[in-house]
């Protein structure tokens, strides 16, 4: 049947939204075209009216995820001085809520070790997201007067993502919590943010 003019656009967005969750939950290999269609209330056949391939879906999905993440980050630290922005973001990123919600979290933590095995375009989308996030961190660090911000941002991001990834594979809850806490304090110490006490200051921002 024919649908109203805007239906295709809406379906396209719905597919991306469904894929965004599934991609981070199951990874690119275990995400199935049929599953994404089903999640949007459709059957698998029509998929290729929306995306020319599974790879195209994955690539577009990743771009959407990173873009949405970026907006969320900026809302989270809006109006905060750079040092507070840094500390706030670190506490969020290396936090239990993020660990426990991979489906809505940062793709770096959910997909990092998959990337070397993925097709070029998909990897490129990932890399663009990594760079953008790293640049955001570097910007805050520079504004906060931290030396060598550009050089320091990537290892810091890697340390944060590594900790969250590892915390998800550790089944001992207490050990996992401690890994996160210890990573937060370690990184904030390295950035000279130990004087900040953000307890109660962390803003909850809707994941939309």
Partner DNA sequence: AGGATTGTATTACGATGATCATATAAAGCT
Partner DNA sequence: AGCTTTATATGATCATCGTAATACAATCCT
Structure tokens that stand for 162 in this block: 């590594």
CA distance 92 to 77: 11
Does 126 contact a copy of itself by CB under 8 A?
Answer: yes
Within residues 71-90, the interface with a copy of itself by CB under 8 A covers none
Q: Taking each helix axis from N to C terminus, what angle separates 82-93 and 120-143, rounded to the nearest 10 degrees?
A: 140
From the number of C-beta atoms within 10 Å of its C-beta (0-12, 13-18, 19+), residue 120 rates as exposed
The mark string for 3-22 relative to DNA (x by CB under 7 A, - otherwise) is xxx-xx--x-----------
The mark string for 105-124 relative to a copy of itself (x by CB under 8 A, - otherwise) is ---xxxxxxxxxx-----xx
Does 56 contact a copy of itself by CB under 8 A?
Answer: no
Within residues 167-196, the interface with a copy of itself by CB under 8 A covers 167-171, 175, 178-179, 182-183, 186, 190
Interface residue with a copy of itself, options 65, 73, 161, 193 (CB under 8 A): 161
Binding footprint of DNA, residue count (CB under 7 A): 29
Question: Which residues have C-beta within 8 Å of that of residue 114, sequence separation ≥ 6?
Answer: 27, 28, 29
Among a copy of itself, DNA, none, what does residue 203 contact (CB within 5–8 Å per kind)?
Answer: none
Annotate 38-49 with b (16+ C-beta within 10 A) or e (fewer).
eebebeeeebee
Among DNA, a copy of itself, none, what does residue 59 contact (CB within 5–8 Å per kind)?
Answer: none
HSE-CB at 68 with a 13 A cutoff on CA atoms is 19
Question: Which residues have C-beta within 8 Å of that of residue 93, sequence separation ≥ 6?
Answer: 106, 160, 164
Q: Where do contacts with a copy of itself occur on this chain (CB under 8 A)?
A: 25-27, 29-30, 102, 108-117, 123-124, 126-127, 130, 151-152, 154-155, 157-163, 165-171, 175, 178-179, 182-183, 186, 190
């Amino acid at each position: 049947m024919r649908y109203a003019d805007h239906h295709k656009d809406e379906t396209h967005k719905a597919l991306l939204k469904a894929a965004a969750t599934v991609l981070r939950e199951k990874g690119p290999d275990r995400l199935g075209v049929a599953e994404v269609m089903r999640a949007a209330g459709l059957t698998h056949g029509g998929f290729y009216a929306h995306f020319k391939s599974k790879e195209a879906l994955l690539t577009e999905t990743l771009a959407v995820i990173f873009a949405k993440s970026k907006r969320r980050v900026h809302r989270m630290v809006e109006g905060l001085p750079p040092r507070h922005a840094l500390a706030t973001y670190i506490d969020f990123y290396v936090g239990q809520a993020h660990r426990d919600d991979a489906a809505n979290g940062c793709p770096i933590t959910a997909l990092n070790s998959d990337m070397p095995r993925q097709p070029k375009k998909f990897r490129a989308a990932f890399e663009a997201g990594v760079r953008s996030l790293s640049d955001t961190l570097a910007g805050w660090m520079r504004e906060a007067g931290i030396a060598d911000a550009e050089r320091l941002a990537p290892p810091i991001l890697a340390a944060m993502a590594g900790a969250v990834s590892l915390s998800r594979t550790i089944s001992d809850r207490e050990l996992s919590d401690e890994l996160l806490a210890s990573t937060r304090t370690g990184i904030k110490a390295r950035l000279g943010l130990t004087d900040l006490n953000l307890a109660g200051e962390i803003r909850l921002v809707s994941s939309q």
